[in-house]
């Protein structure tokens, strides 16, 4: 209030949300078989950083280290997980040393991943790798775990020694970029519609991704004794239709059959809560790309809004940076009505159309479902004004009378999106601002290159090997 009186514009937090989430995430303790599966899934993986990570990526894309087509930019801070060949794996420690490594890496946790105790990974695998490398060097000794510090100075020195073991070769401290359940599925969906290129996700990575998703499937999302089998929007969230839709679809695209127990529980959860017509808008967007939802069921994302003067309050450029850079490729993909080109002949898409809905896919009145959202996802309900504006945009999108004007503006808006996305790719060295717009920019690049060269399905390999596509997938 004092800042307001001084004429400064500040935001003042309001009270608690009227639709605050009352449920909590709930997981079962893992079975012995699940713990064994986790141990098997993580075996042989290594995190490479800095220049080593560049070399790993170049090798994966069969690019020589001296080639100008390889990884560029600052390598410091980069992290990548891969499975090294047996000849490059480090020498194993003794059983006693390995037990010490695991005890320090777990930092007080019990062995194995137990989401019912803590759904966060704790970077145990990475920490074990770093500690193992540290104590393998002659003269290096780990902190003494049998004694307690007697002074604050002793405690600080012990902590510094511990974290010194975790510091990577280029000087940074690496960390797990996990938690949200709407990042990985987006990458998997884009990978699938691009034809599942192995240089983007290989078989070993796909297997680990599926294992990760199944590890985070919940058993009780706050509904008493009801086992819901869903996923949260993030790993500490109770089950939501948003998280469950994306995670289940991702698992199916990774090869999980509909008869698997995880699939059966997920389908039951989705259908019990009305089907994916009640999921969040970003999930609906990905479903439209995949061809398991009609674009008429998604609210309008017009690329031509970028053509408005910058002073207009709802100009996309006035959005928060992440929203702005996600709206950019979404506007392009909505504008071209992108749909997976093999959707109508892919048997997996036909199966998903049956599994995700509570009614026959061909009978759905898509336009009526645009505003539908499950109560469990409705954390911030749309006001009537926003719904009205969405309805106006829907009329604009569907109007035959306005088609000439819309098509002319759409063409200019799409051209702006292409130019802006390419600038974002170049300015960030194809890393982009975050993982959501990263994979959408990749898909837009593929579509734009295909459109400009009139590439046929047979020639898709040409597009995947285009320098811009390779640089996208390398990062």
Q: What are 146-187's pLDDT values in tens digits?
A: 889 999 999 999 999 999 999 999 999 998 888 899 999 999
399: tokens are 């109007």
Q: What is the CA radius of gyration of the chain?
A: 25
Which tens digits make up the pLDDT trace of 410-421? 999 999 999 999
Whether the predicted pLDDT of 11 surpasses 60: no
Give the pLDDT confidence score for residue 229 in this predicted structure. 81
Give the pLDDT confidence score for residue 5 in this predicted structure. 42
- Tell me how far apart the terminal alpha carbons of the chain are, to the nearest angstrom: 46
- Rounded mean pLDDT, 89-106: 86
Which of 216-230, 234-248, 304-318, 458-472 has the least mean pLDDT? Answer: 216-230
Which of 319-328, 377-386, 407-416 has the least mean pLDDT? Answer: 377-386
Kindly provide the residue ranges of all beta strands, DSSP E only, lying in 312-391, ordered along the sequence. none
Which tens digits make up the pLDDT trace of 404-444? 999 999 999 999 999 999 999 999 999 999 999 999 999 99
Higher model confidence: residue 18 or residue 256? 256
Helix, strand, or coil here: 232? strand
Question: Residue 456: which pLDDT band, with cuts at 50, 70 and 90?
Answer: very low
381: tokens are 């309900």
Kindly provide the residue ranges of all beta strands, DSSP E only, lying in 216-361, ordered along the sequence. 231-232, 239-240
Question: Residue 13: which pLDDT band, with cuts at 50, 70 and 90?
Answer: low
Give the pLDDT confidence score for residue 330 in this predicted structure. 97
Give CA–CA dist 113/34, Å, rounded.
9
Residue with tokens 């749909």: 339
Higher model confidence: residue 224 or residue 104? 104
For the chain, how many helices (H) and strands (E)? Answer: 18, 4
Higher model confidence: residue 40 or residue 397? 397
What is the percentage of the chain residues whose pLDDT exceeds 90? 63
Which tens digits make up the pLDDT trace of 42-74? 888 999 999 999 999 888 888 765 556 778 888
Question: Residue 110: which pLDDT band, with cuts at 50, 70 and 90?
Answer: confident
| Nearest residue to 438 via CA among 449, 429, 450, 447 | 429
Question: Residue 459: which pLDDT band, with cuts at 50, 70 and 90?
Answer: low
Give the pLDDT confidence score for residue 26 in this predicted structure. 83
Higher model confidence: residue 102 or residue 471? 102
Whether the predicted pLDDT of 453 surpasses 90: no
Give the pLDDT confidence score for residue 424 in this predicted structure. 94
Give the pLDDT confidence score for residue 44 in this predicted structure. 86
| Nearest residue to 371 via CA among 384, 361, 358 | 384
Give the pLDDT confidence score for residue 16 in this predicted structure. 67
Question: Residue 452: which pLDDT band, with cuts at 50, 70 and 90?
Answer: low
Give the pLDDT confidence score for residue 10 in this predicted structure. 46
Sign of CA dihedral 372, 375, 378, 384: positive
Length of the chain: 475
| Nearest residue to 129 via CA among 109, 110, 160, 105 | 105
Question: Residue 2: which pLDDT band, with cuts at 50, 70 and 90?
Answer: very low
DSSP bridge pairs for 431: none
Whether the predicted pLDDT of 462 surpasses 80: no
Question: Residue 226: which pLDDT band, with cuts at 50, 70 and 90?
Answer: very low
Give the pLDDT confidence score for residue 90 in this predicted structure. 65
| Nearest residue to 177 via CA among 83, 248, 81 | 81
Question: Residue 470: which pLDDT band, with cuts at 50, 70 and 90?
Answer: confident
What is the percentage of the chain residues whose pLDDT exceeds 70? 90
Mean of pLDDT over the chain: 88
- 264: part of which helix (H) or strand (E)? helix 261-272
Q: Is the separation of the CB atoms in 430 and 436 below 8 Å?
A: no
């Amino acid at each position: 209030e004092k800042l307001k009186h001084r004429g400064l514009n500040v935001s003042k937090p309001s009270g608690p949300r009227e639709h605050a989430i009352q449920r909590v995430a709930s997981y079962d303790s893992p079975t012995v078989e699940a713990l064994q599966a986790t141990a098997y899934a993580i075996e042989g993986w290594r995190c490479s950083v800095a220049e080593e990570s560049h070399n790993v990526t170049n090798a994966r894309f069969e690019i020589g280290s001296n080639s100008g087509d390889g990884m560029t930019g600052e390598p410091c801070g980069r992290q990548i997980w891969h499975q090294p060949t047996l000849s490059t794996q480090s020498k194993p420690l003794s059983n006693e040393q390995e037990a010490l490594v695991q005890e320090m890496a777990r930092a007080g946790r019990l062995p194995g991943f137990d989401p019912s105790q803590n759904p966060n990974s704790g970077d145990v695998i990475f920490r074990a790798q770093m500690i193992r490398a540290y104590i393998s060097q002659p003269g290096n000794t780990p902190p003494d775990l049998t004694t307690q510090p007697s002074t604050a100075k002793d405690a600080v020195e012990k902590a510094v020694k511990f974290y010194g073991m975790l510091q990577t070769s280029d000087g940074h401290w690496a960390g797990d970029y996990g938690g949200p359940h709407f990042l990985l599925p987006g990458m998997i969906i884009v990978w699938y519609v691009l034809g599942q290129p192995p240089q983007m996700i290989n078989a070993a990575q796909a297997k680990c991704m599926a294992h990760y998703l199944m590890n985070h499937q919940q058993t009780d999302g706050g509904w008493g004794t009801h086992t819901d089998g869903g996923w949260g929007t993030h790993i500490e969230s109770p089950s939501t239709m948003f998280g469950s839709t994306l995670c289940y679809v991702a698992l199916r695209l990774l090869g999980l059959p509909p008869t698997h127990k995880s699939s059966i529980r997920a389908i039951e959860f989705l259908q019990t809560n009305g089907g994916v017509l009640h999921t969040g808008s970003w999930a609906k967007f990905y479903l439209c790309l995949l061809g398991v939802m009609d674009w008429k069921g998604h609210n309008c994302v017009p690329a031509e809004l970028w053509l408005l003067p910058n002073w207009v309050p709802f100009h996309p450029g006035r959005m928060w940076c992440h929203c702005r850079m996600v709206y950019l490729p979404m506007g392009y993909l909505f504008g071209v009505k992108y749909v997976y080109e093999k959707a109508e002949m892919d048997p997996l898409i036909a199966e998903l159309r049956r599994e995700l809905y509570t009614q026959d896919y061909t009978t759905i009145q898509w336009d009526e479902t645009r505003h539908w959202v499950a109560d469990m996802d409705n954390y911030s309900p749309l006001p009537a004004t926003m719904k009205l504006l969405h309805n106006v945009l829907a009329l604009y999108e569907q109007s035959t009378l306005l088609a000439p004007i819309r098509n002319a503006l759409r063409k200019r808006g799409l051209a702006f999106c292409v130019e802006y996305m390419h600038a974002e790719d170049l300015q960030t060295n194809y890393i982009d601002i975050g993982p959501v717009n990263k994979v959408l920019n990749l898909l837009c690049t593929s579509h734009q290159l295909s459109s400009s060269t009139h590439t046929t399905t047979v020639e898709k390999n040409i597009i995947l090997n285009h320098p811009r596509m390779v640089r996208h997938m390398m990062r």
